[in-house]
């Protein structure tokens, strides 16, 4: 099959590359010539385990190519995936300018029937806008070309996106066209051979499903963070509470891990967009607003614990931070809790040394250059270097390599054996036995005055 993917960001590149694994011919189209040049030279713009060798193999076998010319990319296209960004506006709404620009370009260049697939996360009703936009451009050309528009939202976890695509929990397809339904079923058949995980519904239903899924996961995280903060006040260990409620089959353990807040390109943006969409319908989304508010406050919890421990004066204090990406197995720092923490620490006069296994370059772009130049912030290449003469270790991202560190070395390098654990990775009792003072999120912490 011949597939065109518009957009070579996270979703577009993973989607296009994974389709080549089943022998499909994929053309990825993007307006960023510099990015395409890097891709053609084998330089992948994102960190995603397993993706780079797949891209190299697909290019070497003639199954994957990149171009800035959409007209060329559409010549043999049977499927056209729109996988461009939908950044949040100031009011929280999803910005559809890139989606509709892609739709206009499709209408201007489409030569034969194709299934147009909305892969981007978009508000309810976007498929109808895309259909209308393409139809208007075709009419302006005087071209009588049939097409269908379907919604096929992505459910890819950063850090596990390749596996999620190749072995999906489900593939949601929204369409009112039987012809498009048959085409989409044929396209995804190799990915759902073990069981029938294709779920068909209307386009509006599919668009809402994506937002509802992310909002539910964000709600579970914010709920558990709220419980953890209460556990802090009641001298209760939230880890025992988590096990107790997670063992209930109606609840389960997934996304019930308290911490210093969620980030990334999906949850924050999608919750805000759903709040905005609700208010457009004169519906007040009280629960969703509470989820968002709790998360924003949660990103400040680590700083508040640190500040209280040092009596509110952090001038000249040094902190070693493990983890900058918003989650493990990615270099994505969008909406990352580490940004909030580091900004607050430096604003309070502290000095920060940080380490992340893959987000070093991202971090260098995220923070002001003057901080890196004058030494207020250093981004180290080695995990233990950030701890030298630091007043505390602060764990922000739960990378596997942080789970069982050499606590003897940690203790020796720190000025004092003090750990602030933003992801509850460590056993408080064992650390106290080793002479550490420990603060987690709802973990029977040392007393803060």
DSSP state letters, 10-70? HHHHHHHHHHHTTT-EEEEE-S-HHHHHHHHTT--SS--TTHHHHHHHHHHTTSEEEES-H
Q: What are 46-85's pLDDT values in tens digits?
A: 999 999 999 999 999 999 999 999 999 999 999 999 999 9
Is the predicted pLDDT of residue 256 greater than 60, yes or no?
Answer: yes
Phi, psi of 79 (to 5 degrees): -135, 140
Q: What are 331-367's pLDDT values in tens digits?
A: 999 999 999 999 999 999 999 999 999 999 999 999 9
Catalytic one among 28, 231, 260, 266? 266
Q: Which residues pair with 6 in a beta bridge?
A: 29, 82
Q: For residues 133 and 130, what is the distance between their CA atoms, to the nearest angstrom?
A: 5
Report the mean per-residue pLDDT for the chain: 95
pLDDT confidence band for 91 (50 / 70 / 90): confident
Place of tokens 């994506």: 210
Phi, psi of 284 (to 5 degrees): -90, 110
Percent of the chain with pLDDT strictly greater than 90: 94
pLDDT confidence band for 265 (50 / 70 / 90): confident
Model pLDDT, residue 35: 93
Q: Which residues contact 190 (CB under 8 A, 6 or more apart)?
A: 22
Model pLDDT, residue 198: 93
Model pLDDT, residue 338: 98
pLDDT confidence band for 380 (50 / 70 / 90): very high
Question: Is the Cβ–Cβ distance between 326 and 422 less than 8 Å?
Answer: no
Model pLDDT, residue 194: 65
Is the predicted pLDDT of residue 88 greater than 90, yes or no?
Answer: no
Is the predicted pLDDT of residue 269 greater than 60, yes or no?
Answer: yes
Is the predicted pLDDT of residue 305 greater than 60, yes or no?
Answer: yes
Question: Which stretches within 90-202 are classed as H helix?
Answer: 97-109, 126-141, 161-166, 178-188
Question: Is the Cβ–Cβ distance between 278 and 286 less than 8 Å?
Answer: no
- The pair of structure tokens assigned to 46 is 């994102």
231 is catalytic: no
């Amino acid at each position: 099959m011949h597939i065109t993917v518009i957009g070579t960001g996270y979703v577009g590149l993973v989607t296009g590359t994974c389709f080549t694994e089943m022998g499909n011919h994929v053309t990825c189209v993007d307006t960023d010539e510099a990015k395409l040049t890097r891709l053609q030279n084998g330089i992948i713009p994102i960190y995603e385990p397993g993706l780079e060798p797949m891209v190299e193999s697909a290019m070497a076998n003639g199954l994957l190519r990149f171009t800035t010319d959409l007209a060329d990319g559409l010549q043999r296209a049977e499927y056209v995936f729109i996988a461009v960004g939908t950044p949040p506006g100031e009011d929280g709404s999803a910005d559809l300018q890139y989606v509709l620009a892609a739709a206009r370009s499709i209408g201007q260049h489409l030569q034969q029937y194709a299934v147009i697939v909305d892969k981007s996360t978009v508000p309810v009703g976007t498929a109808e806008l895309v259909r209308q936009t393409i139809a208007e451009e075709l009419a302006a050309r005087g071209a009588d070309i049939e097409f269908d528009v379907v919604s096929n939202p992505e459910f890819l976890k950063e850090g596990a996106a390749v596996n999620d695509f190749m072995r999906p929990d489900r593939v949601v397809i929204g369409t009112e066209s039987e012809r498009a339904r048959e085409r989409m079923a044929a396209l995804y058949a190799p990915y759902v051979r073990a069981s029938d995980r294709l779920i068909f519904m209307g386009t509006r239903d599919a668009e809402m499903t994506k937002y509802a899924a992310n909002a539910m996961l964000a709600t579970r995280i914010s709920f558990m963070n709220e419980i953890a903060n209460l556990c802090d006040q009641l001298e209760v260990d939230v880890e025992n509470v988590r096990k107790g409620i997670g063992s209930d089959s109606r609840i389960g353990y997934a996304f019930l891990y308290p911490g210093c807040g969620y980030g990334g390109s999906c949850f924050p943006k999608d919750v805000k967009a759903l709040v905005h969409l609700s208010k457009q319908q004169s519906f007040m989304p009280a629960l969703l607003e509470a989820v968002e508010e709790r998360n924003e406050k949660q990103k400040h919890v680590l700083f508040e614990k640190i500040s209280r421990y040092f009596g509110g004066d952090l001038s000249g204090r040094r902190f070693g931070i493990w983890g900058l990406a918003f989650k493990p197995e990615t270099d994505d720092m969008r909406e990352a809790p580490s940004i909030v923490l580091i900004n607050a620490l430096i604003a309070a006069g502290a000095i920060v040394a940080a380490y992340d296994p893959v987000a070093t370059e991202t971090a260098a772009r995220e923070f002001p250059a003057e901080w890196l130049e004058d030494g207020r912030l250093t981004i180290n290449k080695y995990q233990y270097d950030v701890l030298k003469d630091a007043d505390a270790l602060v764990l922000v991202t739960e990378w596997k390599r942080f789970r069982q560190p050499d606590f003897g070395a940690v203790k020796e390098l720190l000025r004092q054996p003090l750990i602030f654990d933003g992801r509850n990775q460590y056993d408080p009792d064992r650390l106290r036995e080793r002479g550490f003072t420990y603060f987690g999120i709802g973990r029977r912490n040392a007393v803060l005055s």
